[in-house]
Amino acid sequence: MKNKIRQYTYKQVRIWDQMVLIGIGLAAIYWVLDSFMLMLDTGNFNLFQLLFGTSLDDSWTRLVVLCLFIIFGSHVQFTMNARKHAEEEHQKTEEQYHTLVNNISVGIFRATPGLNGKFLMANPAFLKIIGVESEDELRKMNVADIYEKPDEGKIILDNILPRGEVPWAEIRLKRKDGTPCWAMFTAKMAHGKDSKGFRYFDTIIEDISEYKQSAAAHEHFQKLLSPDVAEMLASGRLKTEKGGQKRVASVLFANIRGFTAMSERMKPTEVLRMLNEYYEGMVNIVFRHGGTVDKFIGDEIMVIWGAPVAHDNDPVRSVHAAIDMQSMLAQLNEDCPANRQIRIGIGINTGSLVAGYIGSTCLMSYSVIGDTVNTASRLCSAAKPGQIIISEETYNHVKSVFDIAELKPILAKGKAEPIRIFSVNNEQ
């Protein structure tokens, strides 16, 4: 209500306003000229009669003309006030619009059509997504420069030109430094006011790279984690933070012995089928004991207990899984000829390591690194077919649970001193 009163007060005309005073001035000039013409016509030099008329009709005529000039000036002043007020409101609206566009978190840009089209304007959020410093720098680029693949830009233009708009869709963009990013976008064609043939399109873009990486990580975990743990990650009940985290974990490596010679006697399709059947059983055992499959390396599998999910008895779980793996293969080999039997050596080590996302902006995976991992791999290399070798650290955690025998220390690659190793026979 106060705003309406303020607007009305601003628009009303005052007698001292410029155009009102001009109207009064014009009326005064008319009055003086009419008096002068009356003097010439009548020869009367009486100043009072000349100013106020020699008759009532003359006086009324002058008063009417005076009012008309004042009304004219007032009307002009009112129109000028209204226009000025409208311009101020328009400027205020534009400032609010620009403030909104500049502060909004999604990217907005306007460009001319075509892969060689030029950017006309953009908000800071879009500049940040693309990785440019200013609008001036952006205007030197072509629209095609922001698409990772030119074909994607062409598909967008083929849709927007005939239809006038593109609904929300995913697209891969390319930042100024060449790194890709995922985005959701929508675009709409518009026509300029000052040129019949001029057209441009306005686009809204939201960076979803972080979401895509998170979704890819969830998909990655769903394949490498047990179903219940994968569901916890997907629902957010279990968090996996970006960057490295120091963890204490048990790492298991299992490698098929004599795989190269075996694969040379088999067709490639048979080798793949054999590996898939083998890994199917191995992964089921890992999931049953709450482990995480880190990766498959040809005929070798790497498994973690303690990252991203930790248990109080991760070393015990890892050794239980290793025993089950050897038992599964013993049963599997009963129905296979001697030259097709799979025999594996297993190495397990427990200790500190770094767990987190490893890779590039295009492809990242969750993994672990550190001396604990390297030592586990060396133990696997030292294990004979059907043997499970564990480190001293793992032994200290599981010695009361399993039947274990100490073996002769080995000099592992990268180690200055021999390391103590132990062979797991079975559960006590």
* Alpha helices (H) along 289-370: 314-333
Co-location of 220 and 301 in the same domain? yes
Confidence at 395, pLDDT banded by 50, 70, 90 = very high
Residue 345 has pLDDT above 90, yes or no: yes
Number of domains, the chain: 3
pLDDT of 332: 86
Co-location of 111 and 220 in the same domain? no
Co-location of 178 and 261 in the same domain? no
Residue 314 has pLDDT above 60, yes or no: yes
Co-location of 292 and 420 in the same domain? yes
Co-location of 327 and 414 in the same domain? yes
pLDDT tens digits, 204-251: 888 877 767 666 655 655 555 556 556 655 556 555 555 678 999 999
Output b/e per residue, 83-113; b: 16+ Cβ within 10 A.
Answer: eeeeeeeeeeeeeeeeeebeeeebbbbebbe
Share of the chain above pLDDT 90, in %: 25
Co-location of 169 and 250 in the same domain? no
Co-location of 80 and 111 in the same domain? no
Q: Quick one: DSSP state of residue 310?
A: -
Range of 169-173, 336-340, 352-356 with top mean pLDDT: 352-356
pTM greater than the 0.95 cutoff: no
Residue 2 has pLDDT above 80, yes or no: no
Region class of 60: left (phi > 0), else alpha (psi between -120 and 50), else beta: alpha
Co-location of 231 and 143 in the same domain? no
Instruction: Give CA–CA dist 212/275, Å, rounded.
Output: 31
Q: What is the CATH number of the domain that holds 134?
A: 3.30.450.20
Co-location of 16 and 112 in the same domain? no
| Mean pLDDT, residues 143-154 taken together | 76
Confidence at 375, pLDDT banded by 50, 70, 90 = very high
Co-location of 96 and 44 in the same domain? yes
Give Cβ neighbours of residue 130 (< 8 Å, ≥ 6 apart).
107, 138, 146, 173, 175, 176
Confidence at 153, pLDDT banded by 50, 70, 90 = low
Structural domain of 191: 107-207
- CA nearest neighbour of 303 among 349, 244, 342, 258: 349
Give Cβ neighbours of residue 412 (< 8 Å, ≥ 6 apart).
375, 378, 379, 382, 418, 419
| Mean pLDDT, residues 185-194 taken together | 70
Mean pLDDT of the chain: 78
pLDDT tens digits, 66-110: 777 667 767 776 777 777 777 877 777 767 666 666 667 788 888
Q: Which region among 185-199, 310-324, 358-372 has the lowest average model confidence (pLDDT)? A: 185-199
Pick from 185, 207, 229: which residue ends a domain?
207
Of 202 and 290, the structure prediction assigns the larger pLDDT to 290
pLDDT of 324: 95
- CA nearest neighbour of 132 among 342, 140, 44: 140
Q: Quick one: DSSP state of residue 143?
A: G
Of 129 and 43, the structure prediction assigns the larger pLDDT to 129
**Are the CB atoms for 292 and 377 separated by under 8 Å?**
no
pLDDT of 230: 60
Residue 1 has pLDDT above 50, yes or no: no
pLDDT of 6: 44
Q: Which region among 70-84, 107-121, 347-361 has the lowest average model confidence (pLDDT)? A: 70-84
Co-location of 339 and 399 in the same domain? yes
Confidence at 16, pLDDT banded by 50, 70, 90 = low
**Are the CB atoms for 350 and 393 separated by under 8 Å?**
yes
Pick from 207, 231, 251: which residue ends a domain?
207
Confidence at 178, pLDDT banded by 50, 70, 90 = confident
Residue 253 has pLDDT above 70, yes or no: yes
Residue 177 CA from chain centroid, whole number? 17
Confidence at 167, pLDDT banded by 50, 70, 90 = confident
Co-location of 96 and 195 in the same domain? no
Q: What is the CATH number of the domain that holds 368?
A: 3.30.70.1230
| Mean pLDDT, residues 24-46 taken together | 66
Pick from 183, 207, 231: which residue ends a domain?
207
| Mean pLDDT, residues 312-337 taken together | 92
Residue 348 has pLDDT above 90, yes or no: yes
